[in-house]
Amino acid sequence: MQRFISIQLPNGKRDSISSRELEISFAVEPLGEKAVLLRFGDQISDKLYSQVALVKKALEDHQIIGWTECVPAYCTLTVYYNPLAVWRSRSEREQQDNTIFDTVCTRIAAALQYNLVDQIQQSHSELGNQRSGILEKGINETGMFELPVCYGAEFGPDLSFASKHCKRGEQEIVAIHSATVYSVYMIGFTPGFPYLGGLPESLVLPRRAVPRMSIEAGSVGIAGSQTGIYPQATPGGWQIIGRTPVLLFDADRRPPSLLSPGMKLKFRPIEKQEYYSILECPRQQMDYWREAEKWH
Amino acid sequence: MALTIKRPGMLALIQDQGRRGFQQFGISSSGAMDKRSARLANILIGNDSSAPVLELTLSGAEFFINETILIAICGADMEPVLCRDVQDSIRTLPLPMNRPLLICEGTMIRLNRIKEGCRVYLAIEGGIAAREQLGSCSTDVRAGLGGIDGTALQHNDVIKRVAPISSPDTDTRVNNQQSFKKRLKEELERGPASNKQQAAYAATSWFVDVHRLFGDHRREDGEETYNKSSFNSKDLQAIRTIRIVQGAQFDRLTSESQQLLLTSYFQVSPQSDRMGYRLQGAELKLKTDEELLSEAVEMGTVQLPANGQPIILMADRQTIGGYAKIAQICSVDLPLLAQMRPGELLAFTVISQQEAEMLLIQEELGFEQLRTAIDLRINMKHAE
């Protein structure tokens, strides 16, 4: 049962919305009886993801009845809900719906139709009234979150391997890795673990032939065309090139993850001294967490 | 100081109905594998449905009862028995399941042996006092959340109950639970004179007939299936029918594999645990082997990895998955699955999304009625 939702945004309502961004559309499919998956496409692209991020924000700010939570991914957004609450709140017309899934989809479409314009307006004003469409550029290009990382030596035991494999000096590897702006597509695999997009092709590395029994918490690594950070110590096969002293996951904070879906991330190279200074100073840790809150 | 774990058995965990709201940060929902039995155990003694309970896997668990306490045991039949005297663990009394029990201080409960099912749920009055993190007391061992200290329970761990604050203004529910306990205690003391000194527990005469209420989906082995001969006759004795809704990538299965999914028996492999059930059986194939992008999943999502053997995601699943989703187990059959042990066989049957939803709504409404009926019996007014 392939169902599509198409949100038409009013044309000519305000001058700053370019004529190209008049429609967001996605397929919807049930994921069990308590979730619906919104499918925007099947590729990793900032453009697709910006739709995911926009819809996520609009739905989080205007939660449908029975809303539990939502989980974004590369080009999908999954909305979890309480089916009994939806069923109980159905209008007479909605009771004619074939499934509770159908009712939820209609309500999501209505919430978006109503609220998405405001969302885009808001994002536009954040970009400072730029003419080109927010859906093309991707969200929040004016700001990015900087994460300090100490590269190489005991913090990045595989940096020398990376250097040999990519046929560039270690300094150059660090320069390329830290010059790139990465997109945080989603958090998963383990609590606080970010799936980052945007690793330059020049830094693609194979996984380690023999995985390590334990990788230190905060380790920054590369595996294939993915780069990421291990929030907790764990066994793993990624090539580790550096380590961040900032805590990535704290169960006592809300939200408990430093990084969040939709964030733009950049790695800032630091020396060993600064690494230990941040590691041991709760106030500096707090500064990074406060900075990250702007993206939630 | 309600109980002390003498032996945890295969795996003993504190669980509730799960940790929701934080999956987008990589936090697994955890929770009881058989949420129906956990909920029932709580309702039977007047607790909140989602109060933390003990989840005990298979048999062998033993615990000392340190104070006279109201409990209920639901889920698998692991032949729970009571030792009146901890010094004498040979003479035991069988404990009835699916009803409120008052257990005396100084005794010991043991899960004697595996008779039926996989996981036992033990609720105690007031609920287990556990560490609440991110909205739930469920233990997530990988993330170190919940439970007592984020780990499985071990020998000498002390399980405390949430103590009621007794005051005239206290919640009616708590007051009523306490007077129910008192009534059961009086019943205990009123027992036959010869047993008075040896009185070890009291039970209600009424109980919940779970098999009649929820069914157990045993299928008669007479139906034509693809690979009956691959399994021995002992395995074939108890085959469960599990209802599924076709998954988003069901159509990516070859038509032969679609048939195989719905007409073969699959065996729960020994590599099955709280993260997922790995099935062994006919090898299923996808039409193309293109890599899929990772996306969110749910408990009961049936994935197909490269080896062609389906995996059913369960309570401790990771929040994101990249394998093809070929089916989704309907919610009301998840408790059934959670009670299957490695070696047992299942067969899938397809139902529609609408049917799956209606089964769930019916069960929810059924639980509300059950709660009302039980509350009446123990003279409580309770809001879900």
> What is the share, in percent, of chain A residues with pLDDT greater than 90?
67
Q: Which among A183-192, B35-44, B169-178 has the top mean pLDDT? A: B35-44
The whole-angstrom separation of Cα A62 and Cα B227 is: 51
Which residue type is seen at B28? S
Q: Which residue has the higher pLDDT, A151 or B88?
A: A151
For residues B329 and B312, is the Cβ–Cβ distance under 8 A? yes
A127 close contact with B: CB closer than 8 A: no
Contacts of A32 in chain B (CB under 8 A): 245, 298-301, 328, 330-331, 356
B357, A190: Cβ pair inside 8 Å? no
For residues B99 and B206, is the Cβ–Cβ distance under 8 A? yes
For residues A40 and A51, is the Cβ–Cβ distance under 8 A? yes
Q: Which of A33, A43, A71 sits opposite B357 (nearest CB)?
A: A33
Q: Which of B24, B245, B296 sits opposite A76 (nearest CB)?
A: B296
Contacts of A255 in chain B (CB under 8 A): 22, 25
Residue A17, pLDDT > 80, answer no
Q: Which residue has the higher pLDDT, B4 or A189?
A: B4
Confidence of residue A124 (pLDDT cuts 50, 70, 90): low
Contacts of B294 in chain A (CB under 8 A): 73-74, 186, 188, 195
For residues B353 and B245, is the Cβ–Cβ distance under 8 A? yes
The whole-angstrom separation of Cα B81 and Cα B137 is: 28
Q: Which residue has the higher pLDDT, A166 or A9?
A: A166
Q: Which of B320, B354, B364 sits opposite A188 (nearest CB)?
A: B320
Q: What is the pLDDT of residue A212?
A: 84
| Cβ under 8 Å to B: A residues 49-78 | 68-76, 78
A195 close contact with B: CB closer than 8 A: yes
For an interface test with B, the pick among A40, A71, A94, A253 (most B C-beta atoms closer than 10 Å) comes out as: A71
A70-79, A127-136, B50-59, B161-170: least confidently modelled range: A127-136
Residue B194, pLDDT > 70, answer no
The whole-angstrom separation of Cα A220 and Cα A163 is: 15
Residue B344, pLDDT > 80, answer yes
Q: What is the pLDDT of residue B167?
A: 62
A136 close contact with B: CB closer than 8 A: no
Q: Which of A29, A35, A186 sits opposite B320 (nearest CB)?
A: A186
Peptide bond into A83 cis (omega under 30): no
- Averaged pLDDT, A251-264: 92
DSSP state of B250: G
**Which residue(s) pair with A243 in the sheet?**
A150, A219
Among candidate residues B159, B138, B154, B10, the one with its CA nearest the CA of residue B78: B10
Averaged confidence pLDDT in chain B: 89
A35 close contact with B: CB closer than 8 A: yes
| Residue A279: exposure state from Cβ atoms within 10 A (0-12, 13-18, ≥19) | middle
The whole-angstrom separation of Cα B283 and Cα B384 is: 44
Q: Which of B330, B331, B354 sits opposite A99 (nearest CB)?
A: B354
- Radius of gyration for chain A, computed over Cα atoms and rounded to the nearest angstrom: 21
A214 close contact with B: CB closer than 8 A: no
Report the gap between the CA of A161 and the closest CA in chain B (Å). Answer: 27
Q: What is the pLDDT of residue B240?
A: 92
A147 close contact with B: CB closer than 8 A: no
Residue B323, pLDDT > 50, answer yes
Is residue A223 helix, strand or coil? strand
Confidence of residue B359 (pLDDT cuts 50, 70, 90): very high
A126-135, A251-260, B298-307: least confidently modelled range: A126-135
Report the gap between the CA of A154 and the closest CA in chain B (Å). Answer: 26
Q: What is the pLDDT of residue B95?
A: 95
Q: Which among A289-293, B43-47, B197-201, B352-356 has the top mean pLDDT? A: B352-356
The whole-angstrom separation of Cα A52 and Cα A185 is: 9
Contacts of B133 in chain A (CB under 8 A): 251-252
B20, A42: Cβ pair inside 8 Å? no
Quote the ipTM score: 0.93
A255, B25: Cβ pair inside 8 Å? yes
Q: Which residue has the higher pLDDT, A127 or A280?
A: A280
Residue B215, pLDDT > 60, answer yes
B245, A87: Cβ pair inside 8 Å? no
Nearest CA in chain A to B250: A1
Q: What is the pLDDT of residue A16?
A: 47
B353, A191: Cβ pair inside 8 Å? no
Place of tokens 């049962």: A1
Q: Distance between alpha carbon B203 and the CA centroid of its chain, in Å?
A: 22
The whole-angstrom separation of Cα A296 and Cα A274 is: 27
Q: What is the pLDDT of residue A21?
A: 55
A31 close contact with B: CB closer than 8 A: yes
B353 close contact with A: CB closer than 8 A: yes
Residue A15, pLDDT > 60, answer no
Among candidate residues B8, B49, B55, the one with its CA nearest the CA of residue B31: B55
B364, A76: Cβ pair inside 8 Å? no
Q: Which residue has the higher pLDDT, A16 or A291?
A: A291
Angle between helices B353-377 and B35-44 (to 10 degrees): 20
- Averaged pLDDT, B28-33: 97
B245, A186: Cβ pair inside 8 Å? no
> What is the share, in percent, of chain A residues with pLDDT greater than 70?
89
Averaged confidence pLDDT in chain A: 87
Q: What is the pLDDT of residue A134?
A: 42
Report the gap between the CA of A10 and the closest CA in chain B (Å). Answer: 31
A255 close contact with B: CB closer than 8 A: yes
Nearest CA in chain B to A86: B361
Q: Which of B142, B294, B331 sits opposite A32 (nearest CB)?
A: B331
The whole-angstrom separation of Cα A220 and Cα A73 is: 21
For an interface test with A, the pick among B132, B136, B140, B320 (most A C-beta atoms closer than 10 Å) comes out as: B320
Tell me: the pLDDT tens digits for B66-83?
Answer: 999 999 999 999 999 999
Tell me: the pLDDT tens digits for A171-225?
Answer: 999 999 999 999 999 999 889 999 898 899 999 998 888 888 889 999 999 988 8
| Residue B11: exposure state from Cβ atoms within 10 A (0-12, 13-18, ≥19) | middle
Q: What is the pLDDT of residue A116?
A: 83
Residue A43, pLDDT > 90, answer no
Tell me: the pLDDT tens digits for B229-269?
Answer: 777 777 777 789 999 999 999 999 999 999 999 999 999 99
Q: Which of A69, A74, A249 sits opposite B23 (nearest CB)?
A: A69
- The pTM of the full predicted model, rounded to 2 decimals, is 0.90
Tell me: the pLDDT tens digits for B263-297?
Answer: 999 999 999 999 999 999 999 999 997 778 889 99
A198 close contact with B: CB closer than 8 A: no
B355 close contact with A: CB closer than 8 A: no
- Averaged pLDDT, B42-52: 94
- Averaged pLDDT, B187-205: 66
Q: What is the pLDDT of residue B271?
A: 93
Strands A212-215 and B345-350, sheet pairing: unpaired
